């Protein structure tokens, strides 16, 4: 923004704009709200945009208010013809016009879209980078069957980031794997509503629901004997699968359910398939193991 030929007042305004907007926008998303004291709509918008800016501060969003009466040159550079006018700026350039947004929901939707596309430096993004290897370790430990240790890892992450959905979901699944369904349910009920619908939390809820149907320590020998006498004993296959799940042997559990589906996919209104899908949800729909089992299921269903 050139200053040649400007008055001292305009030069000062340009310097302030560079300091307050241009420089911070090199790493943050700066919302520039053009307003005036006499503007009624500006006063209506002010508490909304200030609340949103505070809510998104840890994601690298900064609000700067520019009074058009006191900064006419700045407003003219942005061709502001009516107020309120709100621009989002990154690295010194306007990246979005947010003027049409009037509600908190509209601002959240637009900001989420913008932040997903820009390399904004923020506390949240740095924390996410720091937590990523810890979350990966927790998942690895849980997959190995060391449920107690996995619970400890996920609990430590939750202490660092109490609202991290992945850590909370990991705690739920670890508790479910340990058979502590009441404790898991209590944790689930205490999760804030704004993250309760996150995929990781829903996966944890599915783990609790599945764990409630399982009985740890079931002797599989009698069930295997029943199957040896009658290979079409679907009740035995279902119970055997549940016993394997309770013991953490998901391969054997899936084998039993797939065997039942292959023999009679309509048994008890598709009960075996429904149980298999619950297992998929708990493990994770994008997990390579689940993808492999889905291919086996498709081969049966479409054979």
Q: Which residues are catalytic?
A: 39, 42
Report how far residue 66's alpha carbon sits from residue 64's, in angstroms, rounded to the nearest whole number: 7
Report how far residue 242's alpha carbon sits from residue 254's, in angstroms, rounded to the nearest whole number: 10
Q: CA of 164: how far to CAs of 62, 112, 191, 193, 273, in Å?
A: 23, 17, 10, 13, 32
Q: Which two tokens stand for residue 17?
A: 């704009």
Rg of the chain over all Cα atoms, to the nearest angstrom = 28
Q: Please give the backbone phi and psi of residue 63, each rounded to the nearest 5 degrees, phi first.
A: -105, 130
| Angle between the N-to-C axes of helices 165-177 and 123-144, in degrees from 0 to 180, rounded to the nearest 10 | 20
Report how far residue 197's alpha carbon sits from residue 199's, in angstroms, rounded to the nearest whole number: 6
Residue indicated by tokens 């993250």: 195
Q: Which two tokens stand for residue 84?
A: 């309120």
Contact 74, 14 (CB under 8 A): yes
Closest by alpha carbon to 285, among 212, 208, 218, 203? Answer: 203
Report how far residue 188's alpha carbon sits from residue 77's, in angstroms, rounded to the nearest whole number: 52
């Amino acid at each position: 923004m050139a200053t040649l030929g400007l008055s001292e007042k305009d030069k000062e305004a340009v310097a302030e704009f560079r300091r307050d907007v241009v420089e911070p926008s090199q790493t943050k998303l700066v919302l520039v709200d053009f307003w005036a004291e006499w503007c009624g709509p500006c006063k209506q918008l002010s508490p909304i945009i200030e609340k949103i800016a505070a809510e998104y501060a840890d994601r690298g969003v900064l609000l700067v208010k520019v009074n058009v009466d006191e900064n006419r040159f700045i407003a003219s550079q942005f061709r502001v013809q009516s107020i309120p006018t709100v621009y989002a700026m990154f690295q010194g350039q306007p990246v979005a016009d947010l003027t049409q947004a009037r509600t908190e929901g509209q601002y959240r939707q637009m900001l989420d879209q913008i932040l997903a596309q820009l390399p904004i430096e923020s506390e949240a993004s740095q924390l996410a980078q720091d937590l990523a290897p810890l979350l990966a370790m927790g998942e690895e430990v849980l997959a190995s069957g060391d449920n107690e240790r996995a619970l400890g890892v996920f609990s430590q992450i939750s202490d660092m980031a109490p609202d991290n959905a992945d850590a909370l979901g990991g705690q739920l699944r670890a508790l479910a794997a340990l058979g502590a369904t009441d404790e898991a349910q209590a944790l689930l009920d205490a999760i804030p509503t704004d993250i309760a619908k996150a995929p990781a939390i829903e996966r944890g809820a599915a783990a609790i629901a599945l764990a409630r149907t399982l009985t740890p320590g079931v002797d599989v020998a009698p069930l295997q004997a029943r199957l040896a006498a009658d290979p079409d004993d679907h009740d035995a296959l279902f119970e055997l699968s549940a016993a394997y799940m309770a013991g953490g042997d998901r391969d054997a559990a899936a084998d039993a359910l797939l065997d039942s589906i292959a023999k009679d996919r309509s048994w008890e209104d598709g009960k075996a398939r429904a149980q298999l899908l619950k297992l998929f949800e708990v493990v994770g729909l994008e997990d390579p193991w689940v993808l492999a089992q889905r291919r086996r299921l498709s081969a049966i269903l479409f054979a």
